[in-house]
């Protein structure tokens, strides 16, 4: 009888110990998860605070269809800045093909020497707007004829045509 009682008490204590160990492991994992959530929340708050100035600039990255003049001025200023001839031939507002985003599309033509045209394309890409270049065509054309009696060959002229799209805020 004593052996049976001892086995029963041992079984009871063993199960109780296993149950307590499982509960402790569960509590530890919940505490760890809560700690990670608190850390993540603090990190998000720090990120939110550090991007306050940048978030203030965000609307300036989009072109408003009602007020596209600053965008047009920024694009047209690239020509003189790079020593090339730049023309903005069309500007239209439409919806993006597969999404509900509104975009402004523009067709730009740049002509000049190779370095000037490449610098102008680079500046278009780096304008402070959310720009995507859809099509880019480059072609070489003969420069102005050489002066009579000159041995200097004229530099070839390059023409680049590119279609860009910019996210619209309207």
Which residue's entry shows tokens 């049976």? 4
Q: Are residues 36 and 79 in the same domain?
A: no
In whole angstroms, give the CA distance from residue 124 to residue 121.
5
Q: Who wins on pLDDT, 148 or 11?
A: 11
Provide the CATH number for the domain around residue 98: 3.30.70.60
Q: Which of 165, 157, 159 is nearest to 86 (CA)?
A: 159
Q: Give the angle 160-73-69 at the CA atoms, nearest 5°.
A: 120
Q: Structurally, how many domains does the chain consist of? A: 2
Q: Are residues 44 and 64 in the same domain?
A: no
Task: Among 50, 72, 89, give the residue marking a domain's end.
Answer: 50
Q: Are residues 42 and 72 in the same domain?
A: no
Q: Which of 89, 72, 56 is nearest to 124 (CA)?
A: 72
In DSSP terms, which residues pair with 106 in a beta bridge?
A: 91, 164
Q: Are residues 66 and 37 in the same domain?
A: no
Q: Are residues 100 and 142 in the same domain?
A: yes
Q: Are residues 46 and 72 in the same domain?
A: no
Quick check: is 158 in a domain?
yes
Q: Are residues 78 and 161 in the same domain?
A: yes
In whole angstroms, give the CA distance from residue 100 to residue 53.
28
Can you give the residue range of the structural domain that contains 8? 2-50
Q: Are residues 42 and 116 in the same domain?
A: no
Q: Are residues 152 and 111 in the same domain?
A: yes
Q: Are residues 67 and 135 in the same domain?
A: yes
pLDDT at 130 over 70: yes
Q: Assign 3-state DSSP to the chain and report helix, strand, coil percentages, each to 5.
A: 50, 30, 20
Residue-level pLDDT at 89: 87
Quick check: is 55 in a domain?
no
Q: Are residues 159 and 90 in the same domain?
A: yes
Q: What is the pLDDT of residues 4-53, one digit of tens each?
A: 888 888 999 999 999 999 999 999 999 999 999 999 999 999 999 888 88
Residue-level pLDDT at 122: 93
Structure tokens at 67: 């007020």
In whole angstroms, give the CA distance from residue 92 to residue 87.
15
Q: What is the pLDDT of residues 151-162, one digit of tens each?
A: 677 678 899 999
Q: Which of 152, 153, 48, 168 is nearest to 106 (CA)?
A: 168
Q: Who wins on pLDDT, 20 or 95?
A: 20
């Amino acid at each position: 009888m004593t052996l049976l009682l001892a086995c029963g008490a041992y079984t009871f204590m063993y199960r109780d110990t296993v149950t307590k160990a499982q509960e402790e492991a569960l509590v530890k994992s919940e505490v760890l998860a809560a700690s990670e959530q608190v850390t993540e929340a603090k990190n998000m708050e720090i990120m939110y605070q550090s991007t306050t100035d940048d978030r203030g600039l965000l609307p300036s990255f989009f072109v408003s269809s009602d007020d596209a003049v600053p965008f047009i001025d920024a694009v047209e200023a690239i020509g003189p800045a790079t020593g090339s001839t730049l023309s903005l031939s069309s500007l239209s507002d439409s919806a993006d093909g597969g999404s509900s985003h509104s975009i402004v599309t523009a067709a730009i033509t740049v002509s000049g020497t190779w370095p000037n045209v490449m610098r102008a394309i680079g500046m278009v890409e780096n304008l402070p707007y959310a720009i995507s270049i859809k099509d880019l065509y480059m072609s070489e054309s003969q420069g102005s004829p050489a002066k009579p009696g000159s041995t200097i060959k004229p530099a070839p002229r390059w023409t680049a045509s590119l279609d860009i799209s910019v996210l619209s805020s309207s």
